[in-house]
Structure 1
Amino acid sequence: MTITGEVGAWDARGSAVPAVTAKGLTKVYGRGDTAVHALRGVDVSFSTGAFTAIMGPSGSGKSTLMHCLAGLDTVSGGQVRVGDVELTGLNDKQLTMLRRERIGFVFQAFNLLPTLTAEQNIRLPLEISGRLADPALFDLVVETVGLRDRLGHRPSELSGGQQQRVAVARALISRPQVIFADEPTGNLDSRSGAEVLSFLRTSVRELDQTIVMVTHDPVAASYADRVVFLRDGLLVSELAGPTPQSVLDTLMKLEA
């Protein structure tokens, strides 16, 4: 039995339930001789209040894993749980509600609405769900991502790094159980990318946010608390306290 809280869940013994868990997760595209086994029985969990990166060679299944964990793609077998809720038993409407209430997203392409100001883009998830922003949380999020003097600007008036910070703030404002970030620095220069990664890490440390990030960049992965590595649809390795060099060394072994 689990007791659901505002930002997490606890089992009957008072232990924190992982933010996201996958057991025996498989994903197959196509059938017969043309079938592609993107995931081949992945068992992995992501701790609440931690920053985890998912890495692997091209075609390893890292993006597929994230999409299945976030309920953006159906699974072929196994289970996915977000907190105490099993995704694999939900219908489309229930999945939509779960993504709206429990999951935040940060994408490579920012996905901001061009006619809205930065503040309006940040508040959008709450507007859609009919909720009001907690004023104290809004101020804290805006301060955390350094957007105080840019709230009235539209995306076209912001740099790429500033737009991605708006996207991070938008993901944070609804206090989701987990934020999935898909190559969040892929369209940014190194300085802007470092700023965004720092804000993500700060949100974990200061807001107790849970973040799962797919990246191909060893430097980006080094901002995480833990890196898990996929190869050919299988979880094959992980690192705690990663550095750019330790991540690169692991990737080179996987690609050898």
Structure 2
Amino acid sequence: MTITGEVGAWNARGDAAAAVVARGLTKVYGQGDAAVHALRGVDISFATGAFTAIMGPSGSGKSTLMHCLAGLDTVSGGQVHIGDVELTGLNDKQLTLLRRERIGFIFQAFNLLPTLTAEQNIRLPLEIAGRQADRDLFDRVVETVGLRDRLGHKPAELSGGQQQRVAVARALISKPQVIFADEPTGNLDSRSGAEVLSFLRTSVHELGQTIVMVTHDPVAASYADRVVFLRDGLLVSELVRPTPQTVLDTLMKLEA
């Protein structure tokens, strides 16, 4: 990839091992008296090969943070790096290339193409990029998410949990530097949600993937290695090795 960023000063801050770094990140919607400050100078980094959840009360800025980190929304101030590339200042074509080559996405809506089989949906990002699938990686990803016997089925023939597993495999197959997951279990029942979260955690611990997930669910967040909490556009707390109870206790304090 030919895009370059201001790597020297960034590495000097000791963030070279991080997959994603934000410094002084601000996001303002509107102007004057109508201005809404969604992010207020957020400094945060996400370690390579780790599973991090972003949480906070409604309106805390958690979704805005993820969208800015992923290059889906512009920032009002500050810098975002994906690996050695600075997102801020890239044009639309460069951002599209960056997202295609370095970022995977998993959304609450599965976003599968209904006319394609599970295997074709998984391979779609590589087809768009004109790349061949690594057969060993494909087999390993399919085994990881438990889809070996469903590859020939179309989305309408799969359960919600199976469709989301296809979406997970699709995000993994291009070997992205980071996967952003936005409420990935929001449309699933508790059993299917637990399966998908287990697959995400396995992809981190066995495949070395980096995942950043926005969720409102303490149980979902407990699958992560680390949970960071926002309130009013500010990073205010974090937990390492979270449990559902410690996550819930922290959320209750933030909403008090």
Q: How does 1:19-34 map to 2 (within 5 A)?
A: 19-34=19-34
- Say if 2:15 and 2:21, in contact at 8 Å, map to a contact too: no
- Give the secondary-structure state (helix, strand or coil) at the position aligned to 1:89: coil
Summarize deviations over 1:136-157 as a string: whole Å, max 9, x none.
0000000000000000000000
- Say if 2:183 and 2:214, in contact at 8 Å, map to a contact too: yes
Corresponding residue for 1:233? 233
Corresponding residue for 2:121? 121
Matched, 1:74 2:77: no
Matched, 1:35 2:35: yes
Distance in 2, Cα, partners of 1:116 & 1:35: 43
- Give the secondary-structure state (helix, strand or coil) at the position aligned to 1:19: strand
Q: How does 1:1-256 map to 2 (within 5 A)?
A: 16-256=16-256
RMSD, aligned α-carbons: 1.5
Identity %: 89
Distance in 2, Cα, partners of 1:84 & 1:105: 20
Q: In structure 2, do the counterparts of structure 1 residues 53 and 177 end up closer, same or farther at CA, with 3 Å as the change threshold?
A: same
Summarize deviations over 1:2-54 as a string: whole Å, max 9, x none.
xx9xxxxxx69x98521000000000000000000000000000000000000
Q: Which runs of 5 or more residues in structure 2 are unaligned?
A: 5-10
TM-score with structure 2 setting the length = 0.94
Offset of residue 203 of structure 1: 0.1
Distance in 2, Cα, partners of 1:153 & 1:32: 53
- Say if 2:16 and 2:83, in contact at 8 Å, map to a contact too: no
Distance in 1, Cα, partners of 2:111 & 2:60: 25
The aligned amino acid for 1:95 is L
The aligned amino acid for 1:138 is F
The aligned amino acid for 2:87 is L
Q: Which runs of 5 or more residues in structure 1 are unaligned?
A: 5-10
The aligned amino acid for 2:159 is S
- Say if 1:17 and 1:84, in contact at 8 Å, map to a contact too: no
Distance in 1, Cα, partners of 2:94 & 2:242: 36
Distance in 1, Cα, partners of 2:15 & 2:78: 24
Distance in 2, Cα, partners of 1:56 & 1:83: 26
Distance in 1, Cα, partners of 2:110 & 2:199: 15
Distance in 2, Cα, partners of 1:15 & 1:93: 26
- Give the secondary-structure state (helix, strand or coil) at the position aligned to 1:81: strand
Size of the alignment, in residue pairs? 247
- Give the secondary-structure state (helix, strand or coil) at the position aligned to 2:88: helix
Offset of residue 89 of structure 1: 2.0
- Give the secondary-structure state (helix, strand or coil) at the position aligned to 2:162: helix
Q: 4+ runs of 1 displaced by more than 4 Å? A: none
Corresponding residue for 2:8? none
- Say if 2:50 and 2:210, in contact at 8 Å, map to a contact too: yes
Distance in 2, Cα, partners of 1:99 & 1:22: 17
